[in-house]
Amino acid sequence: MTAPSQPDLGALRTAIERIDEELLDALRRRMDLADDVARSKLANAAPFRDQRREDLLLRSIRARASEHGLDPHEVERIWRLVIDMSVARQQALVTRQDTTPLRVGYPGVEGSYSHLAARRLYAGRAGGVLLTGFDQPREAVEALRRAEQDLVLLPIENTTAGSMNETYDLLAEGGVVITAELVSQVDHRLLGLPGVKLEDLREVVSHPQALAQCETFLRERLPWARAVPDADTGGAAQKVRERNDPSVAAIASETAAQRFGLEVLARELQPASDYTRFVEVGREATPMKPGVPFKTSLLMVLGDDKPGSLGEMLQRLTLRGVNLSKLESRPIPGSPWRYRFYVDVEGHAASAPLTAALDDIRPLTSFLRVLGTYPRAEGEGSHG
């Protein structure tokens, strides 16, 4: 009986080497694309790294690995290394730029209103912009304080839902200063899986501010659906896609619908004129161009609780010809029934009228700090 022929080990090794060469060539082409991706991100003010998007990619890779009869965990481990290589390649390209790109953080993911506002504000900047999304505003501000970001863009108030208290509290903690503001019009959309009808919905997910802005629509058109808060609008849209549950919808932007492959189920969810104000914060104040209208934000704590002390402070501002545009109070942590006040006034903090007004009101306060002077936003943004 003739023994079965043994595979030619040399031929097998040669075949493996050819495949290895193909893998290396594919990896090189992937890295070349990573360079192009970095250039596109800089030109279009797109986020540099989106952790949620990477998680979706790895989930897809695991599923495809199983379909090919491969160990999904080992394949995921390899792909994580490939992703890290791509990110390192992009970072290397950034460091080779003639002008270092501006690093800007914002809360949310691609398609969130903070992301759209950041793109509008920074796209086209000479030298490029490196946008990074964070799960929470605090994470973005802490990265700024650690000098891992140059600037952070934060939503601070909405014409329908009011103030974003977390932003005010972060400003009070110090270490950052307001350097600019942006006012952007908000056009919410109700997003769901393709083919879903309103009557199929049982849950609507979005940022608490967006839910508040659309409260009338939810009450009148979807009274049976439960409103569920989420960290940001773009993340809510992403969760609808990930959960793949036809009974769940999100309130987010039309850009988020395109980003996550969702269908717009309803428009005109909030009042026609709905705007969100964003503030840009940095570690240091920046020089202001002359000849533009300025706004100055103040943080103060009144020195005592005697009746009329707040009124007296406002009166002293008025006597100096300082126009007050906003007054917001927030409780002082650990001091029951005591409040700190956020005050927006027109003018530059270094101008003679405002300098004199601050000298006038300082004796009435136990704490007074200028949060920033910056150009006053005049127009509204494009629809999101």
State the catalytic residues: 276, 278
How many whole angstroms separate alpha carbon 101 and alpha carbon 95? 9
How many whole angstroms separate alpha carbon 289 and alpha carbon 271? 35
Q: Residue 283 corresponds to which amino acid?
A: R
How many whole angstroms separate alpha carbon 132 and alpha carbon 221? 36
Alpha helices in the chain (DSSP H): 9-44, 51-67, 72-95, 113-122, 137-145, 165-172, 208-213, 215-221, 233-243, 254-260, 309-319, 352-361
Tell the residue number behind the tokens 């379909």, with chain if given: 67
359: left (phi over 0), alpha (psi -120 to 50) or beta: alpha
How many whole angstroms separate alpha carbon 269 and alpha carbon 246? 20
Helices (H) and strands (E) in the chain, counts: 12, 15
Tell the residue number behind the tokens 């127009």, with chain if given: 379
